[in-house]
């Protein structure tokens, strides 16, 4: 399997892809001791020896973690509203995860399971709509749930701005004002907007499961590494399912 040389250099953590292009064009990169200056060059990561300025290209350790996003943090590296001085998830995360990107988003007022990784292909595999990754949310609303709510959520709620219909793939009522909603789509603020159009206001929203990965009792603001079975299960096709035992506080977490 081959990849573009500039992508391999960028994925190593050495520099950005644009900087990798500059290094290639400037003659600072060799493949199997031969200087390469052509952009778009394909290399085999396993068999080819790549050097940048005479040094072997470092192998970047891939990171896959589950983060319990706390309320009030926005899912972005840089706040586009600079004057607002809003907290981002990177203000909460340990610095060693600064190079990781989130797989999807949770809005500012939402909490729960957020997967982060430095593996771009992995993010694509678990977020692209065609893979139908299920995500489960626990929602609390401001008034008693009416009997017809489940049917409306399952049949679909029209979003006129997008000219689309937003649907839940499953709904479970837990008590008078609490429900579980499973989605396989990821429209902006989908659950809040669906419920608002049906006459409900969301008072709390927590993602408790992403595909097969359960949030369990991981505390807000904490991180735990994904297990090998979880990583493999996330990239397998099919609906969400439990992997092993439910995570507990005994599982290693990181501050």
Q: Which residues are catalytic?
A: 107
**Cα torsion for 168, 173, 178, 179, to the nearest 10°?**
-20
Distance CA(170)–CA(158), nearest Å, equals: 17
Place of tokens 């049917």: 151
Eight-class DSSP state of 208: E
φ/ψ of 75, rounded to 5, equals -90, 80
Distance CA(225)–CA(248), nearest Å, equals: 13
Distance CA(224)–CA(217), nearest Å, equals: 11
Q: Which tokens belong to 129?
A: 């709509």
Q: Which tokens belong to 237?
A: 């096709």
């Amino acid at each position: 399997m081959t990849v573009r040389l500039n992508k391999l250099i960028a994925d190593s953590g050495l520099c950005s892809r644009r900087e990798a292009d500059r290094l290639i064009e400037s003659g600072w990169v060799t493949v199997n001791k031969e200087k390469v200056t052509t952009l778009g060059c394909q290399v085999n990561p396993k068999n080819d020896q790549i050097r940048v300025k005479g040094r072997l290209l470092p192998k970047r350790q891939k990171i896959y973690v589950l983060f319990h996003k706390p309320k009030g943090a926005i899912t972005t590296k840089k706040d586009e509203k600079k004057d607002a001085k809003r907290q981002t998830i990177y203000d909460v995360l340990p610095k060693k995860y600064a190079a990781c990107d989130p797989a999807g988003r949770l809005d500012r007022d939402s909490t729960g399971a957020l997967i982060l990784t430095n593996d771009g292909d992995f993010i694509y595999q678990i977020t692209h709509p065609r893979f139908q990754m299920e995500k489960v949310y626990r929602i609390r609303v401001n008034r008693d749930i009416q009997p017809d709510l489940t049917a409306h959520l399952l049949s679909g709620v029209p979003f006129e701005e997008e000219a689309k219909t937003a649907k839940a793939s499953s709904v479970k009522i837990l008590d008078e004002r609490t429900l579980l909603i499973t989605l396989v789509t990821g429209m902006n603020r989908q659950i809040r907007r669906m419920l608002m159009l049906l006459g409900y206001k969301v008072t709390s929203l927590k993602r408790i499961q992403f595909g097969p990965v359960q949030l369990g009792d991981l505390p807000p603001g904490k991180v735990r590494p994904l297990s090998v079975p979880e990583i493999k299960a996330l990239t397998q096709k099919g609906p969400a399912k439990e992997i092993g035992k439910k995570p507990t506080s005994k599982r290693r977490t990181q501050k």
